[in-house]
Structure 1
Amino acid sequence: MSVDLSQFIPSFLEESFEGLELMESSLLNLEQGDDETINSIFRAAHSIKGGAGTFGFEHVTEFTHLVETLLDEMRDGRREITQNDVELLLKSVDCMRLLIEAIRDEQECDRTEIDETAKLLTIALNQTASVDVDNNETGSGTTNQQVTQNTLWDITFIPEHHLVQTGNDPLLLFNALADLGPITVEANCKDLPPITDIDPTELYISWHLTLDSAASEEDIREVFEWVEDECQLIISQPVKDQQDSQQPEEIVIDKQGGDFTSVSSASDSSEQVLASAVADNASSTLESTTTTKSQKQPSKTKADVGSIRVGVDKVDSLINLVGELVITQSMLSELGNDFDLSKIERLTSGLEQLLQNTKELQESVMRIRMLPISFAFNRFPRLVHDLSNKMNKEIELVLKGEQTELDKTVMEQIGDPLTHLVRNAVDHGIETAEQRLASGKPAKGVITLDAYHQGGSIVIEISDDGSGINRQAVFDKAVEKGVVDKNTVLNDNQVFDLIFEPGFSTAKEISDISGRGVGMDVVKKNIQSLGGRIQVESEPGKGSTFKVNLPLTLAILDGQLVRVGSETYIIPLITIVESLQAKPEHINRVSGDMLLYRLREDNVPIIPVCKLFNIDAEHQRVEDALLVVVESDGQKVGLMVDDLLAQQQVVIKSLQDNYQQVEGISGATILGDGSVAMILDIPGMITMAMNNASQSQQKYGDIAKNLEGVMS
């Protein structure tokens, strides 16, 4: 029976991506003499290399070995940490990510960039080697002398029997150890059971190894760190002359072929056969799994698509709540036996407890989907670093509120809009060092990403201390493109909203960063598709802030239930400004049969929901109905309804997945009585109402023209 190693690949991929993030963030903060940081980067690379070797991903192993060697020279002091090397290592991290993503997606990746980076790494390593040779020839190379002073290390490796079941192969560990220097391996077979009792998935052999190397004990332990919890590892030096009473088989690693070569044997022949069979089983299992993984497991390696890490505290809370629910259910079941009116009070109390337990359980389950927004923020230090170098700007990125939690689905979809906003801040927001110094600012600009909770939503702010938005330039460009009339009077918020118009850009030069007039309109659409909104604040000479307001989750909605005729609709609570009884003196009729309601300083268009969805309503006149004033993208409208019902949380069901997309409706839910209620799409309803009004105006205009023709 062979062990299916492919079941462990998703864990390897997840840990590898985490290691790459650690490497990238550490490299961006790496300074000369920072031993702790360089060691953490080396350990991350070493773990990725070890895991890749375990699963037979040779491309990852070979490339990461070059990266690991360069890092090893840095941490040993044989190589100074330069900005060029840091940039090369950052590029190497990108290549490692490409290789691992190719494994996740089960497809080949473009190796052009990978091969080019591998050549650069080889050149950098050869330069170090030539320096060491020169120093050695002149007699001044103390570093090289230190490297050549090898030590004999005595290593005892006693793996747990189930080691190969977790995807680890001692052969690969010994090959990695052989990278540090020549090794001799002795296999101890004394614990082998009778051949009839051998389980081919178990490992019964332990090993004694001798390593001749200049490596430190820490270097040796790092080779075994992948299995450190599944073995006994004893490392000492110098080596003592000891002969095992069992006279175990002595094996030497042949690095040319990567195999074990027997050099002497005094063990019983049957033990040799068994030892070889067990070792071969581990290797053949690895080979058969890696060569057939794409056929056997086409979907398991899709990595983090369907997985999420959950804190133990959240799981414990969920278990406790389930326990409370079981107790409540048991109590109610007991009440059901020989029920009479004297138990009404206890039944009511039990139902209230059931309601409370259910609500807490729902909230606890939703918290499982919540992740710190640092998962989205972590990509931006590298992005700002690369863009600032490319544009010759000095920029510091400040991250705040990184532990603010957000639903995983929302987080995955907000990544691209945030990326564009950050790129926009680097390109349009922050000035060059010369411009900043000329205006009395520090040469280094600051971009700040902040996240915090506000009510039932999350707010993400992207701000910069740059030049701000040129209000007049935006307005002039909008007039030029025909977006607004030159005589139109707009406030600052309305002018700044113009930058989200399709094709709008004030950039004088087109670059690969921005200026093509695409992106900001997509940003707004993507945010709106998540049920959020975006606001812009800017002050000339001091900077700009883009404020993104998003729901915490897309699965549950806080809603206001309203009745129109016999139908029940749900209005997202986050969009509601206020609800009121319409007063006749505040109602005005304008062209196109459009009604406006004077609400303090605003003229609010009235949308009769019954006419929009072609249903019969109880109240046909605005004076008799209720108005629910809602807001979307700074536009207020009054929804004309018959009655206000309860406020409650509802579980959102997609219409598009279960039926088809309906204009003005964002989804549906099932109410407590089993009936279905539609969730209103406020931006969609406003668009529908505006289109209807425009068509009405055109119709009335055509009638007027016809009348003028008849009259003349």
Structure 2
Amino acid sequence: MGLETSDLDLLEQCMDAMESVADNLNETSGFFVSHTVLLERIAMAERALDKRIIDASQQIDISSFMAADDSSDEGADAAADDELLTDFDPEIAGIFTDEATELIDSAESALAAWNAERDDKTNLLALKRPLHTLKGGARMAGITPMGDLAHELETLVMQLESGIVTDAAAAYAAAQASLDELARMRELVAAGSGVPSGRRLIEQIRALSQPTSADSAAVDPYVRTEVLVEPSLADADDEEIVIVATVDGTADGTESVTAEELWPDPESTESELADEAPPAEIPAEIFADAPAADLPAEIVTPALVAGAALQDRIGQSWVAQSAEAEMPAPAPVPPGREPVAQHDRPELARVDAELLDQLLNNSGEASIARARLEQQMSSIDFNVGELSRTVARLKEQLRKLEIETEAQILHRYEEEGGARGDFDPLELDRYSAIQQYSRALAETANDVASIQQLLETLTKDTNGLLQQQARTITELQNGLMRTRMVPFQRHVQRLSRIVRQAAADSDKRAELIVDGATGELDRQVLERMLPPFEHMLRNAVVHGIELPDERRDRGKNETGRINVSLHREGSEVVVEVADDGAGMNLRAIRDKGVTLGMIQKDQQLSDADVIQLVLEPGFSTAGAVTQSAGRGVGMDVVATEIKKLGGALHMETREGEGSRFTIRLPLTLAISHALILRTADEYYALPLPTVEGVVRLARNEVSAHLGSDAEPFEYGGQKYRFQHLAMYIGREPSPLPETDVTVPVVLVRAGDHSTGLIADELVGSREIVVKSVGSQIAAIRGISGATILGDGRIVVILDIGALVRADWRLRPEAMLPREKADSRTFVLVVDDSITVRRVTQRLLERNDMRVLTARDGVDAMEVLQEHTPDIILLDIEMPRMDGYEVAGQVRNDPRLADVPIIMITSRVGEKHRARAIELGVDDYLGKPYQEAQLLEAIEPLVQRRRARRAGH
């Protein structure tokens, strides 16, 4: 049954009339004229169409819509699938599915809000809006089943709003099932599959609005009333309103009346309406008892729409009139009407997620470049400081030179016997060549001092600009990260649907309760964590929640509870997933671990250690490949994804009470804070969320707690066992310092294993830009990413929790470092010339030596208080303390007496050499030295000292 040619012509004329109105919206109200003839034609066409619909409905047996058996349903659905596979446009459907996801989520949120407060009609309006948009989008995309189901659900909401449907519990169940089905349809469309018709749900929804036969006999016959034109009461003089009434299944009761017949005096009518009861009571009296059970829902539905429209029209008049009266309280707003907000809504823009990620990545690159500039500026500041000290020394030397020059002039005057007796040197300046040179040097020194001051000013200005740039980049990054943040609430309905589906599939009852759903996470973090969340919720239902009978026998509520809580702790987001089910089967987990060779049969393990076994790849307690055996199956995938995100997972369970999973995730993936440390000549980064604290202890105290059998170190109420970080990364640990200097220990916690990590050097905390690594490197246990330091070095970000968990079963003796002397030579270079220090340091480091430098004798003695080098390279002439004094103090210190000393100086005379040998210097080289000569001098002296120490 379709439209006739005359109907199409009428539609075209209506479109032209509406376009004319739209084109003249800015004109005065006098422009608008009534379209009485057009309205009459519309009414006539409407009556004719109603007649054809009723005639057709009398030839259809409604029972034919009901499925005779399951096979007929499958056949109908298959036919619908075949039709949809060829009908809807995949490109348009792809666009629609993105919109449908948001609309379904919005509808589910509104439905949950209405179910919590069923007296609040505003939630029904919030539910109706996304359903209306979903209906139009589905039909536009050619996905008819989704459009039909959304239409029926929208009608149900209108019936709830107007009071026609009173069984709120049944309506909520039907609406929830319909939304679940709409979500499933959306997934099928996204996958390119056929969509079922949703016939059963549509019939269930229609059945809710059908009154009983007793109710039908007690009221007058009524089918539908439709208001074709909705003028305001004040402008109803010239408009015609057509009311179509169908009595006893026929259209004979149709009549056309004018607005004057309905409202002879609109103003007085409004005044009378204002004195009447609120219009919220009208629908129940007029429309509630319509005998719709005798007709198809396609005929009944428009009556409901018309009833709501008529209610709104009368309600508007009542509200307007009430507002003018002086009342002690404002007039109530009729159901379905919300006050329009007066403030302007902020403008929103859709941005491609990839573009946003690229912008954030570029801001990270800018941050790295700024860090490198800051490091360069730090080096420049150091060199400017060196220049300042050099200028100060130069001025002091020039002052002494001038004094010596004046003394020589006086001495010469005395030797000449006052040849020029008329003036003495104090009465008349006499300039010698050396005096002229000294004064020229003084002027040059002043020029250098001016340049040095200018450089200091420029460096300060540059540092100020860098700080301003740092603030700008930080604000940019914060803004971009806020843009990436999305509320967890957006996916609550999806997770609730997962729980409902899993419970229905396993014949169980379960509900999801979410606390802190308004908390925000990084979009990328949330998207990557959704599959693990879904997996954990399915496991909680299928493997954790018991069957209703079992729960009742144990004194529990038949409906299991799964709680998901979300809160923020510093730069982390903590997500807890807990259920009140049976808990994990620890005995089955342990037995499976023994079978797989993960643990020994007689090995003593705590419950916390047994739980960690479920994180091993391929671990399952199932005796066969099923979906309902082995609590924790697939948790290795969850743990791996959490590790890739730089997070941590903690598990706990109690038999008969349930399980709890605590997940710690970074607030954002782009920018993070890490602790940089050095061990075994390599630098590593530890995410700050994994660090419990940092302590500095004396060497003896560290040795007392080192190893698995040693006494644990207690800090903050937690006990830690110390271990070298090098042991976890496959490197040979360095021995502890021989002196009593403090040793930094980094305290970390991985699950129930608390460890104190000993590193060779603690560089400090840094804000880093996290970079992903390739799949080959990411598969290595203990590596979660990489970053670039300010000096351009690439540093690996360690997943220390994975490393600690992997080695917790090692034997105690395997965890102890082997006592082995460091093969690298430790050299102390002492020279007042920064050029000599830098050149010598680079030479030695190229030859695999560890180097410390000191700029004079005092600085060298401070270094020797904390370190014992293998050899000392010493200059003679230095400020504050010269090389002879340093050599004397070293030889008089029992701890340093056997350390070889090589003097490198420009004083190559025999007198200087003899003085050095007298003080115990082992070798003597002149400047400039040959690189090969220096290396040949170092090697035998170091080997001789090591041999003597090994002999003792």
Range of TM-score over shorter length: 0.5 to 0.7
**Once the 2 structures are TM-superposed, how far is the Cα of residue 490 of structure 1 from its aligned partner?**
1.9
- What is the match of residue 22 of structure 1? 106
Q: How do residues 27-176 of structure 1 correspond to structure 2 at under 5 angstroms?
A: 27=111, 36-54=122-140, 60-69=146-155, 71-72=157-158, 75=161, 77=163, 79=165, 81=167, 89-101=175-187, 105=190, 108-111=192-195, 114-115=196-197, 117=198, 119-124=199-204, 139-140=217-218, 145=222, 147-154=223-230
Distance 1:389 1:421 in 2: 17
State whether residues 448 and 462 of structure 1, in contact with CA within 8 Å, keep that contact through their aligned partners in structure 2. Answer: yes
1:44/1:514 CA distance change after superposition, 3 Å: farther
Alpha carbons of 1:355 and 1:502: their partners in 2 closer, same or farther (altered >3 Å)? Answer: closer
Contact 1:431 1:467 in 2 (8 A): yes
> Distance in 1 between the 2:491 and 2:505 partners?
23
Structure 2 Cα separation of the partners of residues 446 and 662 of structure 1? 37
Aligned pairs (5 A) from 1:680-695: 680-682=798-800
SS at match of 1:416: helix
Contact 1:70 1:121 in 2 (8 A): no
> Which SS does the other structure have where 1:379 is aligned?
helix
Q: Secondary structure at the match of 1:153?
A: coil
- With normalisation by structure 1, the TM-score equals 0.59
Deviation at 1:676, TM superposition (A): 3.0
How far off is 1:474 after superposition? 4.3
- 2:672 pairs, out of 542, 550, 557, with 557
Alignment partner, residue 372 of structure 1: 487
Structure 1 residue 621 and structure 2 residue 735: aligned?
yes
Partner amino acid, structure 1, of 2:699? K
1:92-118 per-residue CA deviation (whole Å, 9 max, x = no partner) reads 434433554566x5x62233xx23x2x
Match of 1:606 in 2: 724
SS of 1:518's equivalent?
Answer: coil
Contact 1:671 1:677 in 2 (8 A): yes
Which of 327, 350, 362 is the matching residue for 2:477?
A: 362
Change (3 A) 1:356 1:7: farther
Report if the CA contact (8 A) 1:670-1:676 is conserved. Answer: yes
Matches within 5 A, 1:528-539: 528-539=643-654
Instruction: Indicate whether 1:583 and 2:699 are aligned.
Output: yes
Mapped to 1, the partners of 2:122 and 2:729 lie a distance apart of: 68
Match of 1:708 in 2: none
- Structure 1 residue 502: Cα displacement: 4.5
Superposition deviation, residue 362 in structure 1: 2.5
Contact 1:38 1:71 in 2 (8 A): yes
Query: Which residue in the other structure is 2:433 paired with?
Result: none
Which structure shows the bigger proportion of residues in strand conformation?
A: 1
Partner of 1:288: none
Corresponding residue for 1:522?
637
Please say if residues 705 and 721 of structure 2, whose CA atoms lie closer than 8 Å, have aligned partners that are also in contact.
no
Change (3 A) 1:487 1:688: closer
* 3-state SS, counterpart of residue 229 of structure 2: strand
Q: Which amino acid aligns with 2:200?
A: L
- The offset of 1:451, in angstroms, is 0.9
Cα displacement string for residues 19-76 of structure 1 (whole angstroms, at most 9, x for unaligned residues)? 2013334556765887554444333211112234456655643453344445555555
C-alpha deviation, 1:452, in angstroms: 1.0
Which of residues 524, 527, 540 is equivalent to 1:409? Answer: 524
Distance 1:361 1:8, change over 3 A: farther
In the other structure, the counterpart of 1:448 is 563
Aligned residues: 525
Q: RCO (CA 8 Å, sep 6+): is it higher in 1 or 2?
A: 1
- In the alignment, the residues of structure 1 paired with residue 231 and residue 142 of structure 2 have an alpha-carbon distance, to the nearest angstrom, of 25
CA 384–64 in structure 1, closer or farther in 2 if over 3 Å, else same: same
Q: What's the TM-score, normalizing by structure 2? A: 0.46
Separation in structure 1 between the aligned mates of residue 219 and residue 351 of structure 2, nearest angstrom: 47
Say which is worse superposed, 517-526 or 499-508, in terms of deviation. 499-508
Go from structure 1 to structure 2 and tell me whether the alpha carbon gap of 1:501 and 1:562 turns closer, same or farther (over 3 Å shift).
closer
Cα pair 1:135 1:141 within 8 Å, conserved: no
Deviation of 1:457 after TM superposition, in Å, equals 1.1
**Contact 1:468 1:543 (C-alpha < 8 Å) held by counterparts:** yes
1:650 correspondence with 2:763: no
C-alpha distance in structure 2 between counterparts of 1:692 and 1:428, whole Å: 32
Question: 1:527: Cα distance to partner?
Answer: 1.8
Pick from 542, 546, 552 the counterpart of residue 661 of structure 2: 546
Deviation by residue 1:401-420 (Cα, 9 ceiling, x = unmatched): 11222111111111122222
Cα distance between partner residues in 2 of 1:650 and 1:478: 39
Q: Is the 8 A contact 2:678 2:762 kept in 1?
A: yes
Q: Which of the pair has more CA radius of gyration?
A: 2
Q: Note closer, same or farther for the CA distance 1:422–1:54 as it changes in structure 2 (3 Å cut).
A: closer
Q: Does 1:487 align with 2:596?
A: no
Listed as ranges, the gaps of 5+ residues in structure 1 are 157-180, 185-211, 223-232, 238-301, 310-314, 319-324, 326-337, 701-712
Given that residues 595 and 606 in structure 1 are in contact (C-alpha distance below 8 angstroms), is that contact kept between their aligned partners in structure 2? no
Q: Is the 8 A contact 2:162 2:308 kept in 1?
A: no
Residues 1:11 and 1:398: Cα distance change in structure 2 (over 3 Å): same
Aligned partner of 1:240 in structure 2 is: none
Q: Select the residue among 666, 684, 688 that pairs with 1:569.
A: 684
Determine the structure 2 residue equivalent to 1:255.
none
Q: Structure 1 residues 680, 419: CA separation in 2 closer, same or farther (over 3 Å shift)? A: same
* Aligned residue identity for 1:47: T
1:382 to 494, 497, 505: 497
Native 8 Å contact 1:388 1:395 kept in 2 = yes
Partner of 1:243: none
8 Å Cα contact 2:723/2:758 also seen in 1: no
Q: CA deviation at 1:620?
A: 3.8
Moved more, 668-677 or 75-84: 75-84
Please tell me whether the aligned partners of residues 648 and 801 of structure 2 are also in contact (alpha carbons under 8 angstroms).
no
Instruction: Report the CA distance shift for 1:154/1:405 in structure 2 as closer, same or farther (over 3 A).
Output: closer
Matched, 1:632 2:750: yes
User: C-alpha distance in 2, partners of 1:565/1:486?
Assistant: 37
Q: Structure 1 residues 133 and 455, CA, compared in 2 at 3 Å: closer, same or farther?
A: closer
Tell me the residue number matched to 1:669. Answer: 787
Higher deviation after alignment, 523-532 or 497-506: 497-506
1:432 CA drift (Å): 4.5
Q: 1:472 and 1:55, CA in 2 relative to 1: closer, same or farther beyond 3 A?
A: closer
Task: State the partner residue of 1:498.
Answer: 613
CA distance in structure 2 between the aligned counterparts of 1:69 and 1:549, rounded to whole angstroms: 44
Change in 2 beyond 3 A, CA 1:79/1:346: same
Let me know the Cα RMSD of the aligned residues.
Answer: 5.3
Is residue 465 from structure 1 mapped to residue 576 from structure 2 by the alignment? Answer: no
The answer for unaligned runs of 5 or more in structure 2 is: 1-88, 233-250, 257-300, 318-349, 364-369, 371-452, 714-718, 819-952
Change (3 A) 1:514 1:364: farther
| Residue identity (%) | 28
Does the 8 A contact of 2:785 with 2:797 survive in 1? yes
